[in-house]
Chains A and B, each alone.
Chain A
Amino acid sequence: MSRFRTRAKAAAAVALAAALAVGCSSGGSSSAPAAATGTQDSVDAALKAGGEITYWSWTPSAKDQVAAFEKEYPNVKVNYVNAGTNKDEYTKLQNAIKAGSGAPDVAQIEYYALPQFALTDSLADLNQFGFGSFEKDYSASTWAQVKNGNGVYGLPQDSGPMALFYNKEVFDKNGIAVPKTWAEYIEAAKKLHTADPTKYMTSDTGDPGAVLSMIWQAGGRPFAVDGKNVKVNFGDAGTKKWTALWDQMIQGKLLAPVKEWSDDWFRALGDGTVSSLVTGAWMPGNFISSVPGASGKWAVAPMPTYDGKPVTAENGGSAQSVVKQSKNAPLAAAFVRWLNHGGGVQPFIKSGGFPSTTADLTSPAFVDQEVPYFGGQKINQVLTQASKDVAPGWSYLPYQTYANSVFSDTAGKAYLNGTGLDAGLAAWQQAIVDYGNQQGFTVSAG
């Protein structure tokens, strides 16, 4: 509480100084960055005045967070609504924005979907409240996700730097060493499946989010977005590096035939059928709550790389944004500030979330925590390091939710009949280019 206040005050001071600095220099050059304009005064005033806002989120910790917020600020009422998980919520949000009414004041939006709402001018630019000055408080990779051009369209909540989760028991029993490179990973996958045909290194039935994260790590940058101009290219060297790797897994039938997030999949994680996962740092919470039977068997290691040098990517993660339709944007911004830059962060971490605030990513209490589920391993040491190793320069499409929805019809086919990921991605690229051009973007393949 007190830490929050001083921090907020300090931030306000920084914002004010920055605003003054910008104000002084604005006469001179027109290309001066428009970051950190406004101040947080209006936000503080709105918080004092109180009022009512609506908040859409599906985070398990949302209920507790809202209760804690209302306790701290009794004159603010937050109507918490679980309007559906990811896609469902975006559909509703999109419809409400199109209709001009019915949108919440604050919405949880995943990083991949954020550009879509930011570019269509549906979200409030938080620079007007001076939130641009929070940049240093977040890991670089998550801040890059909420930034679009010079605008800041949300404050990051969770992040998902990737790591390798593996079933130590299965690895030891079959003499598998923890792979450090992707070449070793392929070898391990072959060795494991040969030694015990019921076991697989991992499962992947074609998830667009996971695929893009893997391309991200490999150095591929298939999407280049500049306002309404979009370039899509799944033929760059980084992407090819990943397809060459993953084709070996698909065509060698080294992937467990279970669909992610199904009851089969949770079962497979429990009994070792799926004995490793390369996924976001938010996964430990899921292991603890959904695969309790495998407690003590799993461990965490850095994500394998192509050349042994540590590099990783983000998978998943979301921010809270103020919707432009909000009738009380300063109050909505105050709630977002509390949620991801104040009292809301701790309840979020407690519920198993992986933060994006640098203060928590470096606090010994978090980093050196021994997690009993992982046999007492200090897993956050691996995961917080991963958040530092995220490769920069990634961007999503301004209509990523649509693109993801047609993934299985195009690239997904490569998983089903082993026709090669390059061909599959080319088909996806075609669908992305066609749709974007129909929607009024200028999309080129290249």
Chain B
Amino acid sequence: MATFSVTQPRKSRVLTGFMALYLLYTLVPLVWLVINASKTQPALFSTSGLSFGGTFALFDNIGQTFTYNGGIFFRWLGNTLLYVVVGAGGATILATAAGYGLAKYRFPGRRAVFAVVLGAVAVPPTALAVPTFLMFSKLGLTNTPLAVIIPSLISPFGLYLIWVYAADAIPDELLEAARIDGAGEIRIFLTVTLRQLVPGIITVTLFTMVQTWNNYFLPLIMLSEPKWYPLTVGLNQWSAQANGAGAQPIFNLVLTGSLLTIIPLVVAFLLMQRFWQSGLSAGSVKQ
């Protein structure tokens, strides 16, 4: 009989099979995307979805994607990067500072803030899109990058995550020691706290980054000029071109564009994986 231990648990055939199926389910769309991004438009219409179509046109498609319509794809890529760097980056900074503050300082109204933040987590951003639009329109900010960036700066979930994480990861004793040594609160935050919070910050960065990268509805209603579109809205416009009178389908470019769009996210996940994993399990065991 085999013996099982904590490090060598019993294997479950059912679970393994289930996971294999799940892996397949996750990978098939990706494989489909890669295969079909390598086809020309006519081949796309004449060959089956999961087989290569005669010619290998991936590089040609990439070239076309970047040059179609005066290189607008490049502009959309730049917009998306801008929204992610400023929006998601700013959201992470704000969430970190606020989460830490709420976790480690006692002040009146703290419970009220807690309630508001939890409530905000529950409201889907899509539901707020139209009221936000009307508000921004009054401010004259619609159809500008700010209309996408400012709402992205707020990440109630990120704030909550840092809050919970900071409460556990930073012992009060550490702060007391720093204060006794004569460090100011800002200095403590920058030199002591931030380092402790790195796994949490990386996790929040990933969350806000994915959220901003994939943000569709808000930019869709905020922006009317294609020159400010992020990739999501732009690609959808390309896809919608296949519809109705005077349709000009460019599915090959939509597919190649989609493939190019997910690459930066995949790279980001691979690079930050280490930190992210340690962040997820933090606080789950008592040390």
Contact = CB atoms under 8 A, between A and B. Distances in A.
Interface stretch (A18-26, A138-146, A288-296, A430-438): A288-296
A83 interface: yes
B46 A88 contact: no
A351 interface: yes
Given A99-B138, A286-B246, A263 B240 contact: no
B133 A95 contact: yes
A290 B247 contact: yes
Interface stretch (B87-95, B178-186, B220-228): B220-228
Contact of A270 (B45, B243, B248, B249): B45
Contacts of A289: 247-248
A253 to B, nearest CB: 23
A49 to B, nearest CB: 26
B248 A81 contact: no
B137 interface: yes
Contacts of A88: 220, 236-237, 240
Contact of B251 (A86, A99, A263, A291): A263
B272 interface: no
B118 interface: no
Contacts of A376: none
* Residue from B45, B138, B236 whose CB has the most chain A CB atoms within 10 Å: B45
A282 interface: yes
Interface string A289-312: 111110000000000000000000
Given A91-B221, A92-B224, A99-B137, A352 B246 contact: yes
B221 A95 contact: yes
Interface stretch (A53-61, A67-75, A189-197, A327-335): A53-61
A100 B137 contact: yes
Given A99-B137, A292-B42, A160 B221 contact: no
A445 B61 CA distance: 52
B83 to A, nearest CB: 18
B224 A286 contact: no
A412 interface: no
Interface string B130-148: 1001100110101100000
A85 B240 contact: yes
A375 interface: no
A254 B165 CA distance: 59
Nearest to A85: B240
Contacts of A424: none
Contact of B246 (A83, A263, A267, A282): A282
Interface in B101-159: 130, 133-134, 137-138, 140, 142-143
Contact of A317 (B130, B226, B245): B245
A286 B248 CA distance: 7
Contacts of A83: 224-226
B98 interface: no
B54 interface: no
Nearest to B133: A95
Interface in B219-261: 220-221, 224-226, 236-237, 240-249, 251
B239 to A, nearest CB: 9
B44 interface: yes
A162 to B, nearest CB: 13
A363 B244 CA distance: 26
Given A56-B224, A92-B221, A261 B247 contact: yes
Given A83-B225, A263-B44, A286 B245 contact: yes
A263 to B, nearest CB: 5
B248 A60 contact: yes
Contacts of B133: 95, 99
Nearest to B143: A102
A280 interface: yes
Interface string B9-20: 000000000000
Given A99-B134, A267-B45, A293-B46, A261 B246 contact: no
Interface residues of A, number: 48
Contact of A86 (B226, B242, B244): B244
A299 to B, nearest CB: 20
Contact of B249 (A99, A158, A160, A263): A263
A82 interface: yes
A102 B147 CA distance: 13
A194 to B, nearest CB: 25
Contact of B245 (A84, A280, A293): A280
Contacts of A283: 245
Given A85-B237, A293-B46, A353 B242 contact: no
A83 B229 CA distance: 10
Interface string B177-208: 00000000000000000000000000000000
B248 A316 contact: no
B219 to A, nearest CB: 11
Given A102-B143, A292-B42, A96 B224 contact: yes
A102 B133 CA distance: 11
A387 B224 CA distance: 34
Nearest to B142: A102
Contacts of B221: 91-92, 95
Nearest to B247: A286
A290 B224 contact: no
Contacts of B140: 101
Interface in B1-57: 42, 44-46
B266 to A, nearest CB: 24
* Residue from B42, B138, B247 whose CB has the most chain A CB atoms within 10 Å: B247
A266 interface: yes
Nearest to B248: A60
A136 interface: no
B246 A61 contact: yes
A285 interface: yes
A261 B243 contact: yes
A291 B130 CA distance: 39
Nearest to A315: B245
Contacts of B247: 261, 286, 289-290
B245 A102 contact: no
A205 to B, nearest CB: 14
26 contacts: A56-B224, A58-B240, A61-B246, A81-B224, A81-B225, A81-B226, A83-B225, A83-B226, A84-B220, A84-B224, A85-B237, A85-B241, A86-B240, A91-B220, A91-B221, A92-B224, A95-B133, A160-B245, A282-B245, A285-B245, A286-B247, A290-B247, A316-B245, A318-B245, A353-B245, A353-B246
Interface of B: 42, 44-46, 130, 133-134, 137-138, 140, 142-143, 220-221, 224-226, 236-237, 240-249, 251
Given A82-B226, A88-B220, 4 more contacts: A262-B242, A267-B45, A285-B246, A286-B246
